[in-house]
């Protein structure tokens, strides 16, 4: 059983090998027992994605915090003022 929480909530959990959507946090999902771990990517719009390794040979309970993407600075390099 996988019990994964995230901050913020409602982040997508994707299998990094297949690209398959596993679910959305908070995630409560039963995985088949396997020796190899499951590599996932946790992502949400406006936040930087993070990778996570979930063991499949035992129950897993964890949480992950996503960081906001950098906002462009006001008056940044995209604005050009030309004085004549």
Give the integer Cα–Cα distance in Å for 21 and 35.
21
pLDDT level of residue 83 (50, 70, 90 thresholds):
low
CA distance 50 to 34: 23
Average pLDDT taken over every residue of the chain: 87
pLDDT digits 0-9 by tens, 3-35: 999 999 999 999 999 999 999 999 998 888 889
The pTM is what?
0.79
């Amino acid at each position: 059983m996988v019990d994964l929480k995230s901050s913020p909530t409602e982040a997508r959990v994707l299998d990094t090998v297949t690209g398959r959507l596993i679910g959305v946090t908070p995630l409560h999902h039963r995985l088949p027992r396997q020796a190899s771990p499951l590599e996932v990517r946790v992502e949400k719009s406006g936040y930087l994605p993070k990778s996570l390794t979930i063991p499949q040979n035992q129950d897993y309970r964890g949480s992950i915090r996503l960081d906001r993407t950098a906002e462009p600075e006001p008056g940044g390099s995209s604005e050009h003022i030309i004085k004549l």
